[in-house]
Amino acid sequence: MENDRVTESGGDESGYLAERGWRSWAFTLDHKRIGVMYLLTTIVFFLLGGLFAMLLRLELLTPQTKYFSAHAYNVFFTLHGAMMIFLFIIPAIPSGLGNFFIPLHIGARDVAFPRLNLASYWVFVAGFLVVLASLVAPMDTGWTFYTPYSAKTGAAVATLSFGIFLIGMSSILTGLNFIVTVHKLRAPGMTWHRMPLFVWGMYATSIIQVVATPVVGVTFLLLAMERLLGMAFFDPAKGGDPVLFQHFFWFYSHPVVYVMILPAMGIVSEVIPVFSRKPIFGYKAIAYSSLAIAFIGFLVWGHHMFTSAMSPLANAIFSFLTFFVAVPTAVKVFNWIATLYRGSITFESPMLYALTFIFLFIIGGLTGPFLAALSTNVQLHDTYFVVAHFHYTMMGGTVMGFFAGLHYWFPKMTGRMPGEKLARAAWALIFVGFNVTFFTMFIVGVRGMPRRYAEYLPKFHQENVIATIGSFLLAAGVLLLFWNLWHSLRKGARASGNPWRALSLEWRTPSPPATENFHEIPEVTDWPYGYGKPKRTPA
């Protein structure tokens, strides 16, 4: 768009959005613009991944394959899983909302390394393009790429692994950038214990990204070397070990589920106090439990492998440690609920999604012990029970947290309010559709239906029909949600600097913020949750 349009519209567009033209975006060093680019990109991947989910559900309407071939189904669940994980849920909150709000939250003008930040965005896009190139021979391995299947299949495994390698690199760079930013760029008076909990969650996340992601990079490199150069790491015929791959893979991918959930927990910790106008309950417990989860998360990867013939002792140790991730997680849930106690609660869309996060995450969390306990794990592993469990935590948890964050920060990012009526209608569809879809999967999983099945026995038919109906409601809700935000972007009511009357620093700048965030770096004298009276920092 032309540059002069802006001035004509009489200050219509202001702040960091004022400059127009694609160059002002593609080469920007502003963390807010980079955050917005990440958000838009990852939302596109979310919708694409969702489209594949709908194709899966469509096919599962009938026991026999009907609309697609079995191979096509296998490609769809691989693309659905891989896109949702690597292209949406890992980057969306950290790189999107994190980029935008960490500097604002700690009172900085930008992240520590703005150029690196831009570079990691473009590395991410390059990774996506490589992933796209792999579609010449689409992957049918599942997002877990287990060897030896992944070493044998005719698909473009090496290409896809390289794409994911790049995406992982972008994730490491972002994590590094955030760690340094949090250490070095906090505003005067912003002590560690005055940092918003979103920043704490992001800090713990960044540590995991920096420590764990190189492992998956190396794993995919080894896999590519095995395929391209015939080297034997995982092929038993040549003396390799196929289970070794699983150890490598889960050593990364287990901690990464916390990369997916911790940022969302951070968002919920921001939203709950604002809309109950109460100080957060147990600030330090929430902050440190993020670190505890990040740490314990590194020790439990073996719980994905209880049926891979590890020693019974190893199984027992992994099972024991797994249960201990539950404790800091439970503490957070209790703290959020306690924050509501004697609050003055309102139910605008961010709060609705945050409460939905807690509701669904409790179900995801309480179904975890079935999978952590050895004997029931062996029963349920690789069945639809697992599919239900991780959708409750990842979609019911993280995605709801993401939606809460999108609505909460929408006024800050765009200068407009999200439309409430449609936001609530979308919420209702999502809530009902979600539970119909995924609760049903617990049942069919307990009855023994394995996951990744293009065809299933007729006795599972009824559940699958119900789940598919639910998924269409859910999809309608998600489309309505994004349509509403899109509409609000252009027609929404103007937002003031602080429409929710929150206390954290990002609300002390105009909406949308100016390019360098603050006209004057604020001096911080209190923690961000001083609702009620009298004001004070927590003991």
Partner 1 sequence: MAEGLAFGAASEQAARVDGVFVMIAVIGGFFFFLTQGLLIWFAVKYRRRRPDRDNETPQITGNHLLEFFWVLIPSIVVVAIFYYGWRVYADLSGPPEAATEVHVNGRQWLYEVRYPDGRTAVNEIRVPAGKTVKFLLSASDVIHGFSLPDFRVKMDMIPGRITTLTLHPERPGRFQIYCTVYCGTQHSNMLAELIVMAPEEYARWEAGEREGPAGAVEPPAARGERLAKSAGCLNCHAVEGPAKIGPNLKGLFGSKRPLEGAAEAVADEEYLRESIVDPGAKIARGYPNVMPTFKTTLTPEDVSALVEWLKKLK
Tell me which residues in 74-93 interact with partner 1 (CB under 8 A).
74
Q: Which of 16, 38, 45, 77 binds ligand HEM (CB under 6 A)?
A: 77
Establish if 75 lies at the interface with ligand HEM (CB under 6 A): no
Q: Which does 121 bind (CB under 5 to 8 A by kind): ligand HEM, partner 1, none?
A: none
Sign of torsion over alpha carbons 34, 37, 41, 43: positive
To the nearest whole angstrom, how small is the minimum distance from the Cβ of residue 133 to ligand HEM? 20
- Toward ligand HEM, which CB reaches closer, 57 or 194? 57
The residue with its CB nearest to ligand HEM is 81
Q: Quickly tell me which residue has 């002069």 as its tokens.
A: 4
**What string of DSSP letters covers 224-239?**
HHHHHH---SS-GGGT
| CA pair distance 27, 121, nearest whole angstrom | 11
Q: Which of residues 164-203 bind ligand HEM (CB under 6 A)?
A: none
Q: Which stretch binds ligand HEM (CB under 6 A): 83-91, 171-179, 229-237, 511-519?
A: 83-91
Q: Which of residues 24-53 bind ligand HEM (CB under 6 A)?
A: 50, 53
| CA pair distance 338, 276, nearest whole angstrom | 11
Q: Which of residues 133-172 bind partner 1 (CB under 8 A)?
A: 140-142, 146, 148-149, 152-154
- Toward ligand HEM, which CB reaches closer, 18 or 425? 425
Establish if 241 lies at the interface with partner 1 (CB under 8 A): yes
Distances (CA, A) of 415 to 240, 260, 398, 492, 499: 57, 28, 25, 9, 10
Helix spans in 92-196 (H)? 99-106, 114-133, 149-152, 157-184
To the nearest whole angstrom, how small is the minimum distance from the Cβ of residue 474 to ligand HEM? 5
Q: Which of residues 427-446 bind ligand HEM (CB under 6 A)?
A: 437
| CA pair distance 394, 338, nearest whole angstrom | 23
Q: Which of residues 444-503 bind ligand HEM (CB under 6 A)?
A: 451-452, 471, 474-475
Q: Quickly tell me which residue has 């969302």 as its tokens.
A: 264
Instruction: Tell me which residue of 427, 423, 425, 432 sits closest to 400, measured CA to CA.
Output: 427
Q: Which does 437 bind (CB under 5 to 8 A by kind): ligand HEM, partner 1, none?
A: ligand HEM
Q: Which does 394 bind (CB under 5 to 8 A by kind): partner 1, ligand HEM, none?
A: ligand HEM
Report residue 181 as tokens: 């930013």
To the nearest whole angstrom, how small is the minimum distance from the Cβ of residue 223 to partner 1? 14
Q: Which does 148 bind (CB under 5 to 8 A by kind): partner 1, ligand HEM, none?
A: partner 1
Establish if 55 lies at the interface with ligand HEM (CB under 6 A): no
Report residue 504 as tokens: 């954290």
Establish if 280 lies at the interface with partner 1 (CB under 8 A): yes
Establish if 358 lies at the interface with partner 1 (CB under 8 A): yes
| CA pair distance 410, 442, nearest whole angstrom | 34
Q: Where does residue 142 fall: left (phi above 0), alpha (psi -120 to 50 degrees), or beta otherwise?
A: left
| CA pair distance 346, 239, nearest whole angstrom | 62
Q: Which stretch binds partner 1 (CB under 8 A): 89-97, 117-125, 328-336, 513-521?
A: 328-336
What does the DSSP 8-state code read for residue 311?
-
| CA pair distance 201, 266, nearest whole angstrom | 5
Q: Which of residues 440-459 bind partner 1 (CB under 8 A)?
A: 443, 446-448, 450-457, 459
CA angle 14–16–22, rounded 5-degree value: 105
Question: Which residues form the interface with ligand HEM (CB under 6 A)?
Answer: 50, 53, 56-57, 77-78, 80-81, 84-85, 88-89, 142-143, 387, 391, 394-395, 399, 437, 451-452, 471, 474-475
